[in-house]
Amino acid sequence: MSINVERVWWKPVDKGEKIWIIIALMWAIFLFVMMPWWHYYGKQNPSSETYKVSPEKFQELTNRMIEQYKVGEDAGIPVVAPPPGSDVFLLARQFQWTPVLKFKKGETYRLHLSSMDVQHGFSLQPTNMNFMVLPGYDYVLTMTPTETGTFEVVCNEFCGIGHHAMVGKIIVE
Amino acid sequence: MSASNEAFRTCDVTGFRVHRPAEWLIRVNAVAAVVCVLIGGIYGLLVALTRWPAVHLLDAAWYYRALSGHGLNMLIFWIIFFEVAGLYFGSAVVLNSRIAAPKVGWLAFILMVAGALLVNVSILRGKADVLMTSYPPLKAEPMYYLGVILFAVGALLAVILFFATLVVAKREKTYQGSVPLFTFGLTAAAIIAIFTLAHGAAIYVPTFLWSIGLLPGIDPAIYRTVWWGLGHPSQQINVAAMISIWYLIGTLTVGSKPVNEKVCRGAFLLYILFINLASAHHLLVDPGVSSTWKVWNTSYAMYLAVVASMIHAYTVPAAIELAQRRKGYNKSLFEWLRKAPWGNPAVAGMALSVFVFGFLGGLTGPILGTEQVNIIAHNTYRITGHFHGTVVGGTTLAFMALSYYIVPLIFRRQIAFPKLANLQVWLFGLGVAGLSATMMLAGSYGVPRRHWDIAFSGAPFGVEVNPAAYMWLALMGISAIIAAIGGALYCLIAVVTVFFGKRMDSPKDLTYPVSAPAPDAGTGIAPSL
């Protein structure tokens, strides 16, 4: 069979196609504008505050916070009630979140997340907010709890065979 | 002509001059693809039956092993083996050409088989419990990374062989004018494959060196950034290949021709230019990269690729409607659709592929890739539901549909169990549609992906998961069983056809007819509706 394909690049575009392409393009431009606009106007963004931190340093900062503000223990894990506005450290390691945090409703905290070993996922339930936790990186979430209750922190990045048992707790009073 | 005439046969159905060495390469790659989809499918069923809480089949270690095996065998091995077969078909066969260097093709095949074997053995030995993304510092044994690298080098050689064959065809003037749209789409896929594999090399080679102790460590944030330069564009290879197949199936089954191929080809160009930066949406809730970087890369680049998909969403059905209307199916708005050859599994498979890809997989992609929405979706089952819509309901189903033509034409056998073939595409398509939707629904309650036990056994604190999520997970399990039956039928039909099918002696023996081109109105303009 001889193959002879017409060259198409100078052929005029059909009207139906033209209308559709314009609609698609306008929709894409709308989405394109929406993304930065909502970033500034909507204020529901993931944090972009991040620092390098060694696991040793982060462990030390966490230990210091636990010593200062420890108020009890829950399932063998220290419970900490840091003062509003302070820097709060939540340390991830296979397969545990340390410590349990106690927050006050309506107050703002700077929550630092980092890992001692492998990558973990910070998944706050049942609110359902999800952020990555990497070793060597300090990810700072500035958060203000708006409702009281007990929230679980589920690990949702695979971190080893015991991954499913990695559950932490945040209590808001 | 540098190759002797005996190296060619003339296809009695299509009239193509088929280069026998190319035909053999297509055959072995297609067989390897089916073997991988079978292994990956078994793993997939085990994974789904573990995530159905009432069944919870495997223990934790074997669940993650099966999950690693499922991801690699399906998303990498099955799809790439099939794509390599497709690349040789789209270059050598469709352009009437010899394949540039058959020995390179065999070397590529051997490397890919060796790589796939190493990876599978490593996973089964329990030395690669790192899942498909293998995020460091989780570490697998060196053999695992070596396997991935060997497979990727083989795939790269195959892509280079495709380009070399295009050059040979052009130089030896085996065709006139432009390359056919199918080959053009595959060329787009192959170009994306080159920079995708470059990202793969940039990240897997250092990771391999780290695993044998030559590098002290791999920065996890840099790994994620570069790895997704592999992970996301590789899905765009699949999209480009899948859409090329949609056009090809339209031509084979109803004799369709796009309204204006310039538009389709332009859309493929948009994929090449803009898809890679969109991989930034995998890092939306990561530390390391700034908001400006995330917003810019996910908005402008991704949306231009979305425009490309929107264009295909118009031109693919329009081509088929036009062909059907020219055949006289002009009554009412949808007679062209009703009177499509639905008894042909390639038609039903393609229609389901378009539907599941478009409405479940494709549509949810830009939603989940929004900076704010990603906070509630990242690493939940919604993500898994999204990409089962794209890559399984879309790509895999399109590949299955095309097989019902490729297997008779290339293996010269009649399809075994043609009635089952019809059932096969429907079971698989609807099963995967259910799978994709139920995963997304479960994920909307915060159910994590890649998680052995949402009852969180052994955890210090209990987690109350919304009971609705349990229902969706049960329906997910049932959908998975339906999809798995469809997938098993595909493997059965493929294997029986290839090894025991009745030989084809004349075009009459073709199980599903190749349609004559629809009558040309000469204008290329759609008839008035």
> In which residue are the tokens 């990186």 written?
A137
d(CA B152, CA B169): 26
- Chosen for mutation from B65, B176, B378 (greatest number of chain A CBs closer than 10 Å) is B378
Same domain, B307 and B405: no
With beta carbons under 8 A apart, name residues in chain B contacting A16: 259, 314, 318, 526
The secondary structure of residue B140, as a DSSP letter, is -
Q: pLDDT tens across B55-98, in order?
A: 999 999 999 999 999 999 999 999 999 999 999 999 999 999 99
pLDDT band at B14 (very low <50, low <70, confident <90, very high): confident
Interchain contact, B263 vs A17, CB within 8 Å = yes
Q: What is the pLDDT of residues B466-513, one digit of tens each?
A: 999 999 999 999 999 999 999 999 999 999 999 999 999 888 888 898
Residue B10 corresponds to which amino acid? Answer: T
**In terms of domains, do B207 and B287 share one?**
yes
Tell the burial category of A115 from Cβ atoms under 10 Å away from its Cβ (0-12, 13-18, 19+): buried
Q: Which of B152, B177, B202 is the last residue of a domain?
A: B177
Residue B102 β-bridge partners: none
In angstroms, the separation between the Cα of residue A64 and the nearest Cα of chain B is 23
Cβ(B144)–Cβ(B123) below 8 Å: yes
Whether B124 and B186 map to the same domain: the answer is: no
B160 domain-assigned: yes
pLDDT for the residue B66: 97
Statement to judge: residues B128 and B208 lie in one domain: no
Asked whether residue B402 falls in the same domain as residue B501, the answer is yes
Domain stops at, among B120, B155, B177: B177
pLDDT of residue A125: 94
Q: Is residue B252 one of the residues assigned to a domain?
A: yes
**In the 8-state DSSP scheme, what is residue A83?**
P
Residue B274 pLDDT > 90: no
Tell me: do B137 and B189 sit in the same domain: no
Residues with Cβ within 8 Å of B202's Cβ and at least 6 positions away in sequence, in order, are B226, B229
Listed range (A141-150, B135-144, B511-520) with the worst mean pLDDT: B511-520
Structure tokens at A18: 């033209």
**pLDDT at residue B300 in the model:** 74
Give the span between the Cα atoms of B78 and B29, in whole angstroms: 9
E strands, A32-166, are 49-52, 70-74, 77-80, 87-93, 96-98, 100-103, 109-115, 120-125, 129-133, 137-143, 149-155
- CB contact residues (below 8 A), chain A span 73-102, against chain B: 74-77, 96
Dihedral sign (CA B173, B179, B183, B184)? positive
pLDDT value of position B5: 57
Chain B neighbors of A2, CB-CB under 8 A: 96, 175-176
Let me know: does B41 contact B488? Beta carbons within 8 Å: yes
Instruction: For residue B291, name the pLDDT band (cuts at 50, 70, 90).
Output: confident
pLDDT for position B527: 36
Instruction: Check residue B521 and give its pLDDT.
Output: 53
Residues 54-73 of A with CB under 8 A from B: none
Q: List CB contacts of B288: < 8 A, sequence separation 6 or more.
A: A50, A134, A137, B221, B224, B225
* H runs (alpha helix) in B172-277: 181-211, 220-254, 261-274
B411-441 b/e (C-beta count within 10 Å ≥ 16 → b): bbbbbbebebbbebbebbbbbbbbbbbbbbb
Given this model, what pLDDT does residue A2 score?
Answer: 67
- Residue with the bigger pLDDT between B341 and A35: it is B341
- List, in sequence order, the alpha helices (H) in B444-511: 467-500
Whether B171 has a pLDDT exceeding 90, the answer reads yes
Lowest average pLDDT, out of A11-25, B272-286, B416-430, B486-500, goes to: B272-286
The distance in angstroms from the start CA to the end CA of chain A is 78
Residues B64 and B146 in one domain: yes
Which token pair is B435?
Answer: 């799978």
Q: What are the helix (H) ranges across B125-180?
A: 142-171
Which of A:104-163 have CB within 8 Å of B?
A: 113, 117-119, 121, 123, 125-126, 128-139, 152, 154-163
- B133 and B262 housed in the same domain: no
Region A53-75: what's the mean pLDDT?
96
Distance from CA of B68 to the nearest CA of A (A): 11
Q: How far apart are CA B234 and CA B226, in angstroms?
A: 13
Distances (CA, A) of B428 to B202, B210, B388, B400, B401: 36, 41, 12, 10, 11
Chain A residues inside the 8 Å CB shell of B60 = 161-164
A28-45: buried (b, 16+ CB within 10 Å) or exposed (e) per residue?
Answer: beebbeebbebbeeeeeb
Asked if B84 and B108 count as a contact pair (C-beta separation under 8 A), the reply is: yes
Over 70: is that where the pLDDT of A150 sits? yes
Please report which confidence band the pLDDT of residue B523 belongs to, taking 50, 70 and 90 as the band edges: very low
Residue A116, class by beta-carbon neighbours within 10 Å (0-12 exposed, 13-18 middle, 19+ buried)? middle
For residue B372, is it within any domain? no
Contact B224, B199 (CB under 8 A): no
Whether residue B172 is found in the same domain as residue B185: no
| Separation in Å, CA A170 to CA B447, B453, B461 | 18, 21, 11
Work out the average pLDDT over A80-98: 96
**Following CA atoms B402, B403, B404, B407 in sequence, which dihedral angle do they give, to the nearest 10 degrees?**
130
Residue B185 has pLDDT above 60, yes or no: yes
Calculate mean pLDDT across residues A32-39. Answer: 87
* Same domain assignment for residues B320 and B441: no
Contacts of B292 (CB under 8 A, 6+ apart): A48
What is this model's ipTM? Answer: 0.93
Tokens of A33: 């504008």
Beta-carbon separation of B525 and A14 below 8 A: yes
Among the ranges given (B31-35, B59-63, B232-236), the one the predictor scored with the smallest mean pLDDT: B232-236
Q: What is the number of domains present in chain B?
A: 3
Give mean pLDDT, residues A67-81.
Answer: 96
Residues 6+ positions from B43 with CB-CB distance below 8 Å:
B66, B67, B69, B70, B73, B74
Boundary-marking domain end, from B149, B177, B205: B177
Express as a percent the part of chain B with pLDDT over 90: 82
The answer on pLDDT for B184 being more than 90 is yes
User: By CA distance, what is A121's nearest residue in B?
Assistant: B379
Q: What is the mean pLDDT of chain B?
A: 93
The pLDDT value recorded for residue B524 is 41
Enumerate the β-bridge partners of residue A129. Answer: A124
DSSP string, B261-279: HHHHHHHHHHHHHHTGGGG
Q: Is residue B325 part of a domain?
A: yes
**Would you say residue B16 lies in a domain?**
no
The pLDDT of residue B297: 82
Query: Are B407 and B494 found together in one domain?
Result: yes
B357 domain-assigned = no
User: Which whole number is the average pLDDT over A130-154?
Assistant: 96
The rounded distance, in Å, linking the Cα atoms of B279 and B296 is 12
**Are residues B191 and B335 located together in one domain of the fold?**
yes
Per-residue pLDDT at B458 = 93
User: In B275-396, which residue ranges form alpha helices assigned H by DSSP?
Assistant: 291-296, 302-326, 335-338, 345-355, 363-368, 371-377, 381-387
B480 within 8 A of B438, measured Cβ to Cβ: no
Residues of chain A in contact with residue B507, where contact means CB-CB under 8 angstroms, are none
In a domain, B516, yes or no: no
Q: Token pair 């790895």 is at which residue?
A: B227
Range of the domain at B155: 22-177
pLDDT at position B287: 93
Residue B235 near residue B173 (C-beta atoms within 8 A): no
